[in-house]
Chain A
Amino acid sequence: MTDKPRLTALRLHKALYPIWKNDPGWKGVFTTVNNNTIGNMFILGATGMFLAGGILAMLIRAQLASPRSAFMGPEVYNQIFTMHGTIMMFLFAIPFFEALTVFLLPGMLGTRDLAFPRLSSYGFWCYMIGSTIMIVSLLAGVAPDGGWFMYPPLSSSAYSAGINTDIWLLGISFIEISAIGAAVEVVVTVLRYRAVGMSLDRLPIFAWYMLVVAVMILTAFPPMILGSLILELERAFDMPFFQAENGGDSLLWQHLFWLFGHPEVYIIFLPAAGVISMILPVMARTTLLGYGWVVAAAISLAVLSFGLWVHHMFTTGIPHMGLAFFSAVSTLVAVPTGVQIFAWIGTLWKGRPELHLPMLWILGFFVTFVMGGLTGVMVAMVPFDWQAHDTYFVVAHLHYVLIGGYVFPMIAGIYYWLPVLTGRKRFFRMGETAFWLVMVGFHGTFLLLHWAGLLGMRRRIDAVEEGSGWEFINLLASISGFVLAIGFGLVILDVAVNAFVAVRGRRNPWNAGTLEWATPIPGPAYNFASIPVVTSRYPLQDNPDLPVQIARGDGFLGEPFRKRRETLAVSVSHGEPEFITVMPRNTVVPFAMAVVTSIMFMAPVFKWYWLMFVSALGVTALALLWAWSGGSRRDEGLLDAGRGVSLPTHAEVSCPPGWWGSLFLLLANSVLFGSLLFGYAFLWTVAPNWPPLRILQADILEPVAAASGAVLASAGIRLADHAIRREGTSWVGLLVSLTGLAMLGAASITVFGGTTYNAHAYDATLWVIAGYVIFHAALAGLMTLFLLFRIRAGYVSARRCGDARVVRLWTDYATLAALLGLGAAWLPGWLS
């Protein structure tokens, strides 16, 4: 009885492993698309960046230890603190939780991989290459030096001439591609790739948090990417977006930056809150109190976080009534945070908490984060912020929130999931010592720095001055800072030693109830030998035999006779099986595309625009290759998915994963475009030296061309879509659509003729709007041509109509963007 399932499980493993395994040796590193492998490499990379940022922090504390300890001049020191902030925010905090998510999410959801495995690989390599570029710039002494929020005009070419700022603007934008990619991936995975029966109210709480975070990334990062893009345009071509004398406004940058920057804080905090919500109930031998309340709190936190960016701008002279609104929202955001804190404490009261190492770190989180939250409420008070802003009070506050609210829970998470990561149980016990070193070091460093701020110590000064009254505080902070660093070093050492030499552990040592503990440890490449069926939030508690049943193929897709990577897509709300997704094999295309993309982003730093265009062509070619390699040339019909259910493949459903991915990518894209229109309206109403001397006048011809182009484009693609579904002639519709897109592009080009790109912020903005429209018309045109070739090659049929649906989505978006963009460009001319 006990032997039989094992034999079956072993047979199933031997069938699945060759299908899902990585390429052997070094080749596998570059061709892998597996979430476990990429997750591991991602965690290592992000940890490396944490070490780099930490070393910079030590240099800062050495510089500020006493009035006589300064060993760097401001030129070097400014690079050091700018890079410390940049690395910790962009190259550590966000990538680290993404890494953990890439690793853990399929396991928690009960699926075999993330929705877009090649995108995981592409995002990871963009991140690694981008991070390397940033570190190299630091070693070469040309690192960014304007502070991590890069305010113009200080970051404009007039006051920062070198390539330092260009590296920041282009490098960070490049790295954010990986964040956007990961976000699209997480949203589609959580919505479509889960165990059967895992309805939305049975999602592991971490998946809820990550769904919220991913949508936040899609809506928060685009304003910042736009800001970086137009600041780079100003630096390279003198387009005056931020120059007051030509109708620009440096405040526009602050709005765009903090529209990203404040949600960013919650983007960092929410994954940590998700980790706590997973671990804390297990540590207390109970279930989470108020699951629905916690989900609601996470969602409202996300919504509110977009309404308080101005609280970083309380000292910029915004009218007090405006400040009142943002101050109220800034305090309101503490309510959902309070709900979560008390839900967690209530969970501890409900259960029987045990003081294992992950719990110790969560207690460290409580103390530290509550203090950081309370000082956060203080700086949300406008009058107090007028005093505390840009002092060490804020420096101390943000380290309490970020280290206490993010790093401590992440360390708790690493220790908690260490058995899944390594397959071993913790044997060496350095962790407890490390914990206490970190606690003492942390509060020793930052607690009194609040006070230094109130005594007038500004952030970013390059030395402690004699007789300032804060020499002792800084000496204490520096000594404690080194204790803190030793503590963190010991944590990393402890994890590394336990990862490589500890004894093998058993599955699910904590007796947790969620599915990531149902796989063998460490997880095999396919994660689940069959897709489980669940009936509650804690399937392992209902059915302790579930791991065995999964392993012997009792779930869905438990018989890999089609010899390809298959997983199950379920319906969004109820988790019913809908279709079989065929996942891509190992491929080097994502890595190659990341390399070429990095060249495209870095070429403009050195003004090698020809290289930028060549590599843009390269990216396009690789993207086409990527898209071409999916799909099938024949209808497969309904296939056996196990448990007596037959399902189509993803190629034969009307909204395939690619359509869902496009939908969320377009969400991010529309936020970027919305930010551009916001910038246009902001400059018009707030910036000095408006209106411009010359306003674009559109004749009747251009608007008519645009309107008919829009009609042709969207009607044409619909015609083609219908024709494909009825096995009719589709090329007529596609040609009509192409004509429409060309007319939209031509109408946009006339904007260039009526304006001078560097004359005024108005002209510059119109150029960017027109460029955006042309880019999207061209993109939709390219996709239409691609579709035409796919039809000719036999990839499209009445059943296999997904490609056409994707192209229709992008065409509609291009049309809408053209109408809005050109309308906004021509409106002032019509009104005048």
Chain B
Amino acid sequence: MVVGGSTPLALAGCEERLSVVHPAGPAADIIATLWWVMLTGAAAILLLVLVLLVLAFRRGEGPAGEAADSRRETVWIKGLGLGFTMAVLAALTVWGLWIGERLLPHPGPDVVAVEAEGRQWTWRFSYPNVPGLVTEGELHIPARRPVDVRITSADVIHSFWVPRLAGKLDAIPGHVNVLRIEASEPGEYAGLSAEFSGAGYRRHHFTVVAHDAAAWDAFLARETP
């Protein structure tokens, strides 16, 4: 499998290499779906509000009196204000939590563990399966297998983010946070630090190289010191 590497990156095009909406792994995929659904729903709600506002100016004055006011309170406040918002939000929250649960690093038979340590302004990666193996600025993972990245920091707070694969998770001194990522296809994926860290922040990049099974074995064997 010599093809490996850069094909998906080239296919994705330069402008999409950091794109949340061009997912290349299951976690990013689920979140992108969540986004498109929320965007549609938000557009519908905005439209509803705008229509209600326009109508307010189009129609004449409503009936006055206590009875009319209490009818209005039922419609506007109890109906739309409480009922409508609560129904929409409850559904969304439950869905969001269910998705979040699926993205957690649950244990599994073929999970691979790697370690990531951020510092101003590089990333250093190591591989517990192969003691002594360290790569700088380049994280190697097997494609189509769940990978748990154990993230920490050597100095200030950073954040580990590969937008096309998964959400971000902070690198905090003294703590180790575990992020589950997975690449659906072999290839290279751009990664960055997403927590402001001072003068070199903009250039705080790294690359994730996802290998097919053979290349992954070769990587582990080749790089052993």
Most buried by A among B45, B86, B93, B103: B93
Chain A's closest residue to B169 (CB) is: A315
Least CB separation from B174: chain A residue? A244
B192 contacts the other chain (Cβ, under 8 Å)?
yes
B15 interface hit (Cβ, 8 Å): yes
B49 near A345 with CB under 8 A, answer: yes
Docked-complex contact B42 and A378, CB < 8 angstroms: yes
Q: Name the contact of A153 in the complex, choosing from B46, B73, B92, B156 (C-beta under 8 A).
A: B156
Given A315-B167, A455-B20, A688:B175 Cβ within 8 A = yes
Does B133 lie at the interface of the complex (its beta carbon under 8 Å from any beta carbon of A)? no
Interface residue stretch chosen among B1-9, B196-204, B214-222: B196-204
List, in ascending order, chain A residues with CB within 8 A of B10's CB. none
The answer to whether the Cβ of A353 comes within 8 Å of any Cβ in the partner chain is: yes
A454 to B80, Cβ gap below 8 A?
Answer: no
Give CA–CA (A811, B9) in the complex, Å: 69
With a cutoff of 8 Å between Cβ atoms, the chain B residues found around residue A462 in the complex are 201-202
- Is B111's beta carbon under 8 Å from chain A? no
State whether the Cβ of B166 lies closer than 8 Å to any Cβ in chain A. yes
Among candidates B49, B80, B190, B199, residue contacting A366 with C-beta atoms closer than 8 Å: B49
A384 contact from B35, B52, B75, B174, Cβ within 8 A? B35
B34 touches A381 (CB 8 A): yes
Residues of A within 8 A of B52 (CB): 345, 349
A687 close to B (CB within 8 Å): yes
Determine how close the nearest CB of chain A comes to the CB of B10; give it in whole angstroms: 13
Chain B residues closer than 8 Å to A158, beta-carbon distance = 155
CB-defined interface of B65-90 with A at 8 Å, one 1/0 digit per residue? Answer: 00011001101110011101110010
Question: Interface SS of chain A: helix, strand, loop or mixed?
Answer: helix
A155 to chain B minimum Cβ distance, whole angstroms, is 9
The residue that A350 contacts in the complex, of B69, B101, B195, with Cβ under 8 A, is: B69
Q: Are B46 and A370 in contact, CB atoms less than 8 angstroms apart?
A: yes
Contact B169 A386 (CB under 8 A): yes
CB distance from B117 to the nearest CB of A (A): 13
Q: Is the CB of B81 within 8 A of A343?
A: yes
Contact with B167, one of A331, A343, A386 (Cβ below 8 angstroms): A386
- Contact (Cβ within 8 A) B89 A320: no
In the complex the two chains form, is A159's CB within 8 Å of B34's CB? no
How distant is the Cα of A202 from the Cα of B195 in the complex, in angstroms?
A: 48
A374-B47 Cα distance, complex, nearest whole Å: 12
Q: Is the CB of B143 closer than 8 A to any CB of chain A?
A: no
Considering the complex, give the chain A residue whose CB is closest to the CB of B43.
A374
Is the pair B89, A377 in contact by a Cβ cutoff of 8 Å? yes
Scoring A residues 365 to 391 as 1 if CB is less than 8 Å from chain B, else 0, what string do you get?
A: 011001100110110111111111111
When the two chains form their complex, are residues B174 and A328 in contact, meaning their CB atoms are under 8 A apart? no
Q: How many of B's residues come within 8 Å of A, CB to CB?
A: 79
Q: Decide: A375 near B72, CB < 8 A? Known: A353-B56, A390-B195.
A: no
Per the bound structure, the CA–CA distance linking A160 and B163 in Å amounts to 29
Contact present for B62 and A335 (CB under 8 Å)? no
**Would A386 and B96 be within 8 Å (CB), given that A74-B200, A352-B61 are in contact?**
no
Instruction: Report the bound CA distance from A374 to B100 in whole Å.
Output: 20
Q: Across the two chains, which residue of chain A brings its CB closest to B76?
A: A346
- A387 and B174 contacting across the interface, CB-CB below 8 Å: no
A456 within 8 A of B: yes
B130 at the interface (CB under 8 A from A): no
Q: Establish whether residues B174 and A688, one from each chain, have CB atoms under 8 Å apart when the complex forms.
A: yes
Q: Nearest residue in A to B164 (C-beta to C-beta)?
A: A456
Q: Is the CB of B30 within 8 A of A383?
A: yes
A460 at the interface (CB under 8 A from B): yes
Task: Judge whether A467 and B14 touch: CB under 8 Å.
Answer: yes
Q: In the assembly, what is the distance between CA of A345 and CA of B34, in Å? A: 29
Q: How far is B99's CA from A297's CA once the two chains are assembled, in angstroms?
A: 30
Q: Is the CB of B77 within 8 A of A343?
A: yes
The answer to whether B194 touches A391, judged by C-beta atoms less than 8 angstroms apart, is yes
A249 at the interface (CB under 8 A from B): yes
Contact B76 A290 (CB under 8 A): yes
A383 touches B167 (CB 8 A): yes
Which positions 312-347 of chain A face chain B at CB distance < 8 Å? 315-317, 320, 323-324, 327-328, 331-332, 334-335, 338-343, 345-346
| B167 x A290 contact (CB < 8 A) | no
**Given A153-B155, A244-B173, A381-B92, residue A348 in contact with residue B196 (CB < 8 A):** no
> Is the CB of B207 closer than 8 A to any CB of chain A?
no
Query: How far is the CB of B151 from the nearest CB of chain A, in Å?
Result: 8
| Residues on B with beta carbons closer than 8 Å to the beta carbon of A289 | 69, 72-73, 76-77
- Tell me the A450-472 residues at the B interface (CB within 8 Å): 454-463, 465, 467-469
Is B167 within 8 A of A374, CB to CB?
no
- Residue of A whose beta carbon sits closest to that of B104: A320
Q: B76 to A383, Cβ gap below 8 A?
A: no
Are A293 and B170 in contact, CB atoms less than 8 angstroms apart?
A: no
Interface pair A317/B177, CB less than 8 Å apart: yes
Is B174's CB under 8 angstroms from A689's CB? yes
B21 proximal to A (CB < 8 A): yes
Bitwise interface map of B from 152 to 176 toward A, beta carbon under 8 Å scored 1, else 0: 0001110100010011111011110
Q: How far is the CA of A316 from the CA of B77 in the complex (A)?
A: 37
Q: A74, A315, A331: which contacts B159 (Cβ < 8 A)?
A: A315
| Pair B97/A382 contact, Cβ less than 8 Å | yes
Task: Please tell me if the beta carbons of B31 and A384 are within 8 angstroms of each other in the complex.
Answer: yes
Report the bound CA distance from A335 to B87 in whole Å: 10
Asked whether A251 is an interface residue with its Cβ less than 8 Å from the other chain, the reply is: yes
Shortest distance between the CB of A14 and any CB in chain B (Å): 44
B60 at interface, CB cutoff 8 A: yes
Say whether A469 contacts B196, CB under 8 Å. Answer: no
With contacts A346-B76, A374-B45, A455-B16 known, is A74 near B155, CB below 8 A? no
Task: Determine the chain A residues whose CB is within 8 A of the CB of B77 once the complex forms.
Answer: 289-290, 293, 339, 342-343, 346
Given A251-B172, A343-B76, A469:B31 Cβ within 8 A: no
Query: Are A320 and B100 interface neighbours, CB within 8 A?
Result: yes
Task: List the A residue with the shortest CB-CB distance to B23.
Answer: A387
Map CB proximity to B onto A456-493 as digits: 1 under 8 Å, 0 otherwise.
11111111010111000000000000000000000000
Name the residue among B18, B30, B59, B166 with the largest chain A CB count within 10 angstroms. B18
Contact A317 B169 (CB under 8 A): yes
Does A75 sit within 8 A of B, measured CB to CB? yes
A636 at interface, CB cutoff 8 A: no
A245 lies within 8 A of chain B by Cβ: yes
Determine whether A682 belongs to the interface, using a CB cutoff of 8 Å to chain B. no
- Rounded to whole Å, the gap between the CB of B179 and the closest CB of chain A is 9
Q: Which residues of B contact A386 (CB under 8 A)?
A: 31, 103, 166-169
Determine whether B184 belongs to the interface, using a CB cutoff of 8 Å to chain A.
Answer: no
Q: Give the Cβ gap from B197 to chain A, nearest Cβ, in Å.
A: 6
Give the shortest distance, in Å, between A645 (CB) and chain B (any CB).
Answer: 34
**A748 touches B (CB below 8 Å):** no
Complex CA gap A775/B84 in Å reads 52
B122 within 8 A of A: no
Across the interface, do A389 and B194 meet the contact criterion of CB distance under 8 Å?
yes
With A382-B97, A455-B18 in contact, is A339–B81 under 8 Å at CB? Answer: yes
- Evaluate contact between B15 and A467: CB separation under 8 angstroms: yes
Closest to B30 in A: A383
Partner of A468, one of B18, B20, B42, B104: B18
Q: Is A377 a contact partner of B92 (Cβ separation < 8 A)?
A: yes
C-alpha gap A462/B82 in the complex (Å) = 43
Q: What are the residues of chain A within 8 A of B35 when measuring CB–CB?
A: 378, 384, 387, 454
A-B contact pairs, 19 of them (CB 8 A): A74-B201, A146-B198, A293-B77, A334-B85, A335-B86, A339-B85, A345-B49, A346-B73, A349-B56, A367-B50, A381-B38, A382-B96, A383-B30, A387-B167, A458-B194, A460-B196, A463-B202, A467-B15, A468-B15
**Given A159-B198, A340-B81, A370-B46, 11 extra CB contacts under 8 A:** A147-B196, A315-B169, A317-B169, A338-B84, A370-B45, A387-B28, A389-B167, A454-B35, A456-B192, A468-B18, A688-B174
Binding site for B on A (CB under 8 A): 74-75, 78, 146-147, 151, 153-154, 158-160, 244-245, 249-251, 285-286, 289-290, 293, 297, 315-317, 320, 323-324, 327-328, 331-332, 334-335, 338-343, 345-346, 348-353, 355, 363, 366-367, 370-371, 374-375, 377-378, 380-391, 454-463, 465, 467-469, 687-689
CB-based closest 5 A-B pairs: A386-B167, A456-B18, A244-B174, A469-B15, A346-B76
